[in-house]
Copies of this chain bind each other. A is one copy, B any other.
């Protein structure tokens, strides 16, 4: 006992006994000396010892039995083996376990075909990188802004092509998903005030809706036609909701494949300015154009220089290497860099260095040329197969690039029941509600053709068409007999 310590003596004593119990020096069930006895032994007041015993009783370490004395509790720490009730402590899981039927042909994944990866050049360039003079620096702690040589290269490219202005800066992120996450937190984090709306296409990529909803934003859907956002409807949304952010995927939008015309782009840029919405351009598919010529980015058209542009190597090269980037006015990038540092310090440097080599060496351009040839074949194949196999009354978009198109089935068919039927025959896709910003899209689905072969496209759409016809037929026959069931 230290009589000069700030901790009172009774507490020192209680702590001492507690640690003897913890270390096993006193076993559960053992009897402690009577307070008078221990007080005499230690040269303390009896009340001090009683106070220590009381503290231990309160903690459940000691049990007092009147007339028999104080015993170390049988189960000293009953709570210690108690399992936390995680389900009540944590927010509910959003997704149930994924369905696991045997799928032969999947139109569900919007990702490149694995067998088209240029493995030989990837191998050669990776070896160049690790054998190169920057290897040790790549392995050392880096910068939240990104691997300096890649960042320099991307800035130079963006300035040369007229996309970045002198007032812009650039940060490298783990693909565009992290860029969206950082932006969502920057614009909708703590104390960001009442203007908490983010407007985006509807239907739209699920991860875009969710990342803004998680940040506390109010997600507002903008209705689309086959050419993307309708500027007149956008103006209504901007007028009504005055969103803080407007997120647009102008080329080969996920899931519709729609591409905005130059005229619509100009209108959208003007509207964002007029209504004070910060324009975020999700431009990750534009290089995957199979028909027609390129259209300028919204960022290039925005004379104010206020737009935020997101790009990524994931869709045009290797999604397993997580490298995207943001080009935006300097004050935005400075804050994204702070947020990035707190999120994961910086992006992985080995992949940044490999992808820099891939781009600088011209291999990325060559890979893109091959990808466009293969994509054009798949696209014409999928459009032809849709026209041939889907039941009468189906509608589908006709994109000129990208990885997906959007199909709407005739009433009364619902895509969830079509999906059940299709998976039984080994074909799947993502149903429309998965892409909902606000509207349910219950008759629609996304058909992703980027990762499947032309032969699989034909076979898969034949099965989808048959499943849709069978589903429609079941309505036709079921309706008069079992009207209630048919309405399910």
Measured CB to CB, the residues of A under 8 A from B are 7, 11, 15, 18-19, 22-23, 59-60, 77, 79-84, 86-87, 89-91, 93-95, 109, 111-112, 114-115, 117, 119, 122-123, 126-127, 130-131, 135-142, 167, 173-175, 177-178, 181, 185-187, 189-192, 207, 210-211, 214, 216, 231-232, 263, 266-267, 269-270, 273-274, 276, 278, 302-306, 314, 318-322, 329, 331-332, 334-335, 338, 341-351, 354
**Whole-angstrom distance between the Cβ of A264 and the nearest chain B Cβ:** 9
Is the beta-carbon distance between B304 and A267 smaller than 8 angstroms? no
Contact call B142/A11, Cβ cutoff below 8 A: no
State whether B141 touches A90 (Cβ < 8 A). no
Chain B residues, Cβ within 8 Å of A350 = 126, 320-321, 348, 350-351, 354
Which B residues lie within 8 Å of A187 (CB)?
A: 90
Given known contacts A189-B214, A348-B322, A23 and B273 CB-to-CB distance under 8 angstroms? no
Chain B residues positioned under 8 Å from A115 (CB to CB): 136
- Which of B23, B84, B174 touches A278 (beta carbons < 8 Å)? B84
- Inter-chain contacts of A174 with B (CB < 8 A): 174, 344-345, 347-348
CB within 8 Å for A344 and B178 given contacts A77-B273, A190-B214: yes
| Contact A348:B345 (CB < 8 A) given known A141-B320, A216-B190, A306-B83 | no
**Complex interface: chain B residues within 8 A of A123 (CB):** 130-131, 135
A167 to B83, CA, bound (A): 10
**Across-interface contacts of A112 in B (CB, < 8 A):** 140
Contact B82 A304 (CB under 8 A): yes
Given contacts A84-B278, A332-B90, contact A263 B19 (CB under 8 A): yes
- Pairs across A and B, CB under 8 Å, 16 listed: A15-B231, A22-B270, A94-B338, A112-B140, A126-B126, A127-B130, A140-B319, A140-B320, A174-B174, A177-B341, A178-B344, A207-B345, A214-B342, A320-B349, A321-B350, A348-B348
Are A91 and B191 touching (Cβ within 8 A)?
Answer: yes
